[in-house]
Amino acid sequence: MTNPYTDQYATALDDADPLRGLRAEFHVPRHGDGEQAYFVGNSLGLQPKAARAHVEDVLDKWAAEAVEAHFTGTTQWMPYHALLREPLARVVGAEPEEVVAMNSLTANLHFMLVSFYRPTRERPAILMEAGAFPSDRYALESQLRFHGFDPATDLIELEPDQPGGRFSMEAIARAIELHGPRLALVLWPGVQYRTGQAFDVAEITRLGHAAGAIVGFDHAHAAGNLALRLHDDGPDFAVWCHYKYMNAGPGAVAGCFVHARHARTDRPRFAGWWGHEEATRFRMEPTFQPTPGADGWQLSNPPILGLAPLRASLELFDRVGMQALRAKSLSLTGYLETLIAQRLSGTLAIVTPGDPGQRGAQLSLRVLEGRGLRGRDAGRSLFDALSAQGVLGDWREPDVIRISPAPMYNSHADVLRFVRAAEAWREGRA
């Protein structure tokens, strides 16, 4: 049984998978009499079945105890966000005091920029990737203008130097060196949303710091996907969301990392009472005294109903650990790559790097041709045909289909199903 394109081969891989039981912990959307092959965990992860119980626990406590629920039981609301701190730190490779769940991704990016983007006339510039997720660009551009600088000269957007919109480390290093003396900040993605390329966080951080800049990361597509080591890799800050690989639900409360070296600094920040030193918060004194660590950037009392599904998700991450998840992810995505090479090489081009060390779960695919169509038209046609067969990927303009096998709930059989569904489209059977 050496042909990967067989049910037996996929089944053997799934039978040997130590994480195969995890799928049963999630609600998998239905398709006909069966389940979808859901490859959109890079957009909205599936619902952990335990999420409902955690949300209901909050609702029940609210109904039965109202304000007193802040101080009763093991899930009391006053320290509720602290229940998330350690498991979240384990997912992103941080010290517990370096992480906090709060706000949304873009809001956290702005709050981090308030503290860490401190432009001067000599050093006003920000380096980012051209083609970044638009929200990041809007945030950076608006921060530049807010400080009285001109994005036309001070927002440096590095163009990709590799096919398919990928970057070489050399190009990133050259840009940091070239602009170094003017750089206030480097903001980079952990995993690029369109291409799926993963970057060397430690090396980009080292280069940025050597140039005298602050270094931050958007880990929207990296958290829960790669085995991050934020503390050791050393960026100054990072932000991410929890609705993708972290499976905490639509618009879930987001994540934020502030490196321990900034835990006790008097950096300027936009303050709110929940960031005030915990021991004295309820003295209601007029002077803000930040609590050490990432918690000191909180503004408001946390949305407990919003945190409840994240708790459910983190329990699963804690049960298996990022190393085991990453090992399965490498197997699933490697299998996807192998089958595309074997069965779909004239139909699909893989945009994502072939080196597993430079990608996470996602493969970004361009459709070359099929059914008499080419390029974008072929892409849209395939995408629609996949959806009609219960194989869910997502579409990113102008011409990319993203397929992300999530190790929490996808199987090798799902991957084989994707390839067969794409073949059925090509051959006019779907």
Ligand X SMILES: Cc1ncc(COP(=O)(O)O)c(C=O)c1O
Q: From the annotation, which residues make up the binding site for pyridoxal 5'-phosphate?
A: 105-106, 133-136, 218, 221, 243, 273, 301
- φ and ψ of 354, to 5 deg: -75, -20
What are 155's two structure tokens? Answer: 């927002």
Annotated binding site: 105-106, 133-136, 218, 221, 243, 273, 301
Q: Which 8-state DSSP code applies to residue 211?
A: T
Q: Which is nearer to ligand X, 106 or 195 (CB)?
A: 106
* Minimum distance, C-beta of residue 105 to ligand X, in the bound complex (Å): 4
* Minimum distance, C-beta of residue 190 to ligand X, in the bound complex (Å): 9
Q: Beta-strand (E) ranges in 169-230?
A: 183-189, 214-218
What are 121's two structure tokens? Answer: 């006339």
3-state DSSP of 324-351: HHHHHHHHHHHHHHHHHHHHCCCCEEEC
Bridging pattern class, strands 237-240 and 214-218: parallel
Alpha carbon distance 59, 51 (integer Å): 12
365 has which bridge partners?
350, 401
Alpha carbon distance 359, 225 (integer Å): 10
Bridging pattern class, strands 348-350 and 363-367: antiparallel
CB 359 within 8 A of CB 198: yes
* Minimum distance, C-beta of residue 158 to ligand X, in the bound complex (Å): 16
Q: Find the residue with minimal CB distance to ligand X.
A: 106
Interface contacts to ligand X, rule CB under 6 A: 104-106, 133, 135-136, 189, 193, 218, 220-221, 241
Alpha carbon distance 87, 101 (integer Å): 11
Alpha carbon distance 172, 129 (integer Å): 9
Q: Which is nearer to ligand X, 221 or 426 (CB)?
A: 221
Radius of gyration for the chain, computed over Cα atoms and rounded to the nearest angstrom: 23
* Minimum distance, C-beta of residue 365 to ligand X, in the bound complex (Å): 18
Q: Which is nearer to ligand X, 55 or 238 (CB)?
A: 238
Cα–chain center distance at 423: 30
Q: Which is nearer to ligand X, 105 or 322 (CB)?
A: 105
Q: Which is nearer to ligand X, 13 or 254 (CB)?
A: 254
* Minimum distance, C-beta of residue 230 to ligand X, in the bound complex (Å): 16
* Minimum distance, C-beta of residue 59 to ligand X, in the bound complex (Å): 24
Look-up of token digits 């799902």: 414
Closest among 244, 189, 180 to 208, alpha carbons compared: 180
Q: Which is nearer to ligand X, 111 or 193 (CB)?
A: 193
CB 160 within 8 A of CB 129: yes
Helix axes 134-146, 105-116, angle to 10 degrees: 30
What are 364's two structure tokens? Answer: 């970004």
* Minimum distance, C-beta of residue 219 to ligand X, in the bound complex (Å): 8
* Minimum distance, C-beta of residue 58 to ligand X, in the bound complex (Å): 22
* Minimum distance, C-beta of residue 172 to ligand X, in the bound complex (Å): 17
Q: Which is nearer to ligand X, 85 or 221 (CB)?
A: 221
Cα–chain center distance at 100: 15
Q: Which is nearer to ligand X, 215 or 241 (CB)?
A: 241
Q: Which is nearer to ligand X, 40 or 211 (CB)?
A: 40
